[in-house]
Chains A and B, each alone.
Chain A
């Protein structure tokens, strides 16, 4: 069934887009990541202009995160206090990100900057997660191995403005979650993604948050950053396609429900290993595209930009 997208000005197969939304929604519910890092390349692959892919999926991420948070909320898996502190940093990060985006756009290098940051962030985070989660799985299989410390104290935990987060059983500097939120906000503006793939491991490894709370809390924060990104994209670039977002979010919200259920049955390290492999695969694909000779060295953009 073909559906015409009024802003993208193209016709797509509705079932294909629904399926893509479902898949990304499933991963979103399972791992607590927004899935934007998968959706952007997928949308561009089916021919949606990159700017519209970025703007539209910010919109669908709002819906996916709301339904994801609801599911986590019912299980009591959201630390609202920590989420609000992260959000405070997220607002500042988004503003800085928009400023950097503007500079890169004027230099005419926004495309390669986006791809490079995808390769860098996805590659680094995915690689680290891959190593860590496979180690954890090996340790589990060999119970005689020495058990690591519960808490490792690094210099980050010595920062000022200490705050108590009862829900997460943490007593840490508020600068830490706010800083993580700020980096996440920057990624929303520059890469057009929720930033969950960065927030989730940061919350696990830097904050030492209980794993059960990580997905719900990061999704809670992502609702607000993606909502801000949607409004910004719609107001300044008119790159939010309501029709495309509707298809993606119908698939996405249903997928997220299944994903959340599947995720609660997965062991933490297994889920992290699976996510790490997906992230690394996307990073490798993008790096390949960057270094391999394109079919046509020339590209065409209609309009003034």
Chain B
């Protein structure tokens, strides 16, 4: 075994330990230019869930700027356009997008346009204008743009795409942190949290951390039941309703 491989093994072990320990970032600092982690890797949606905040924190090996991109699970989405037909507003056209993230937010330590050029912004999908949203059909550019901005506008209204960029705060020169807010209607699934270290107009280091948003407890059982055994669920819902109606009727008999 050569010295090089041994060194690599040690490095990988240290990185793994750093990941496992979560908070103890110091272990990997010498190996990576950027280390970041989340205060929690699981957002549990329980019956009382009203939205939550996750803290992303980390350290860099020196001066530089940090950008954080949070992307929710991707899936198809349809945007429909209404037009006036006989005085009524009805859906006349639609466009399907294939890989629409359910959630998208960016946090930066300095305004993006001061950090990197357009090609890099596009490569890392930094910022809503750079978010890749492939459409299912070919349309004239201006129409495509109208549909695209409508998609983003609707998502922003639901609170799932950030309207403005979040702020990454530096504590001293190396330590940074930012708060990521997830509203109550946050889609479930696997999220990607990407931290980028930017120095002299270039992305010099990147780290991706997974984040799981999942229903837990009663709400998870209900949605699993409804999805996995829909017919039984329907029958149970009807029986429950009859029982509840009957119980209420009986209870009120004496009043």
Question: What residues make up the interface of A, taking CB atoms closer than 8 Å to B?
Answer: 2-7, 9-11, 59-60, 62-68, 70-71, 74, 108-109, 111-112, 116, 223, 227, 230-236, 238, 240, 242-243, 245-246, 249-250, 253-254, 256-257, 290-294, 296-305
Assess the A3–B226 pair: CB atoms within 8 A. no
Residue pairs across A and B with Cβ atoms less than 8 A apart, 7 shown, are A59-B237, A66-B242, A71-B252, A231-B238, A249-B244, A296-B157, A303-B76
Docked CA distance A296–B17 (Å)? 50
Most chain A CB within a 10 A radius of its CB, from B222, B248, B250, B255: B248
Assess the B188–A9 pair: CB atoms within 8 A. yes
Residues of chain A within 8 A of B2, CB atoms compared: none
Which of B47-55, B59-67, B163-171 contacts its partner?
A: B47-55
What's the count of A-B pairs with C-beta under 8 Å?
198
Docked CA distance A257–B233 (Å)? 28
Partner of B241, one of A63, A254, A292, A304: A63
Q: How far is the CB of A253 from chain B (nearest CB, A)?
A: 3
Q: How far is the CB of B50 from chain A (nearest CB, A)?
A: 5
Assess the B185–A112 pair: CB atoms within 8 A. no
Partner of A238, one of B76, B147, B227: B227
Q: How far is the CB of A23 from chain B (nearest CB, A)?
A: 16
Q: How many residues of B contact A (CB 8 A)?
A: 65
Docked CA distance A10–B247 (Å)? 29
Docked CA distance A64–B76 (Å)? 37
- Evaluate whether A4 and B45 lie within 8 angstroms (CB atoms) in the complex, with A70-B250, A298-B154, A302-B102 already known: yes
Residues of chain B within 8 A of A305, CB atoms compared: 78
Residues of chain A within 8 A of B157, CB atoms compared: 296
Q: How far is the CB of B255 from chain A (nearest CB, A)?
A: 7
Q: How far is the CB of A299 from chain B (nearest CB, A)?
A: 5
Most chain A CB within a 10 A radius of its CB, from B91, B185, B245, B253: B245
Residues of chain A within 8 A of B246, CB atoms compared: 66-67, 70
Residues of chain A within 8 A of B220, CB atoms compared: 6
- Evaluate whether A11 and B51 lie within 8 angstroms (CB atoms) in the complex, with A300-B151, A302-B77 already known: yes
- Evaluate whether A235 and B231 lie within 8 angstroms (CB atoms) in the complex, with A2-B48, A6-B219 already known: yes
- Evaluate whether A242 and B252 lie within 8 angstroms (CB atoms) in the complex, with A297-B81, A298-B153, A300-B79 already known: no
Residues of chain A within 8 A of B223, CB atoms compared: 6-7
Question: What residues make up the interface of B, taking CB atoms closer than 8 Å to A?
Answer: 45-51, 75-84, 87-91, 94, 100, 102, 146-147, 150-151, 153-155, 157, 184-185, 187-188, 215, 218-220, 222-223, 226-227, 230-231, 233-235, 237-238, 240-242, 244-250, 252-253, 255
Assess the A10–B226 pair: CB atoms within 8 A. no
Assess the A240–B245 pair: CB atoms within 8 A. no
Docked CA distance A108–B81 (Å)? 12
Docked CA distance A62–B223 (Å)? 21
Docked CA distance A245–B242 (Å)? 12
Assess the A301–B184 pair: CB atoms within 8 A. no
Assess the A245–B241 pair: CB atoms within 8 A. yes
Docked CA distance A58–B184 (Å)? 25
Q: How far is the CB of A44 from chain B (nearest CB, A)?
A: 15
- Evaluate whether A4 and B234 lie within 8 angstroms (CB atoms) in the complex, with A66-B242, A240-B226 already known: no
